[in-house]
A = this chain, B = another copy of it.
Amino acid sequence: MATTAATGGTRQPARDRILDTAFRLFYAHGPRGVGVDTVIAESGVAKATLYKHFPRKDDLVLAYLDKVDQAWFGALRAAARDAGDDPRDQLVGMFDALASACRREGYHGCAFINTAAESSSDSAVHARTVEHKNVVRAWVTDLARRAGAAHPDRLARQLTLLLDGGLAAGVLDADPGAPAEARAAAEALVAAACPATTTG
């Protein structure tokens, strides 16, 4: 009857179980749509334990956003890396991360945008969202610079607009038209902004 061995062996630490559960529930219903009690019940944790690791619900929400940041930014970099060595291909290749995200069961759009939508503009959530988007855009800008874009910051802005638009549109229809067209548009914009130097 030992609780820590109930599932047969070493269980995940309580903090990880809380965060994993919050990640799943918050993404599906929005942080405001999930009560702390539900997180507690589904993660099999005591209330005091949750409030020990995350004194306010907002702390849990921020930790959730950090987890999302790692996952999404990681997926973007992986997709770019898989596209080859040419930075121009990488700029287009990162849209593969968008396509596979939209395909995923239970896809519900950009967690940052969704969470920021239910928060005021001076909240910590809003600030964290701005920061996330800036980090991603800075990375894309660097890629655009290495791709030889005339105005790397402008190209990066355009591509991240397409990315955000694709994240939003991916919720609304099941057909993969949006991500595919986002990638096509990115190809056109990259081609127009980056003079081809290596191949004709």
Complex: chain B residue closest to A30, CB-CB: B118
Main SS at interface, chain A = helix
Known: A109-B117, A114-B117, A164-B168. A157 touches B178 (CB 8 A): yes
Q: Do A168 and B118 have beta carbons less than 8 Å apart? A: no
Give the segment of A17-25, A36-44, A63-71, A169-177 that binds chain B.
A169-177
Number of interface residues, chain A, beta carbon within 8 A: 42
A154 contacts partner chain B, Cβ-Cβ < 8 Å: yes
Q: How far is the CA of A172 from the CA of B169 in the complex (A)?
A: 18
Interface residues in A145-171 by Cβ distance below 8 A to B read: 154, 157-158, 160-169, 171
Known: A154-B181, A185-B158. A118 touches B33 (CB 8 A): yes
Question: A117-144 toward B: CB 8 Å interface, digit per residue (1/0)?
Answer: 1101100000001100100000000000
Complex: chain B residue closest to A106, CB-CB: B121
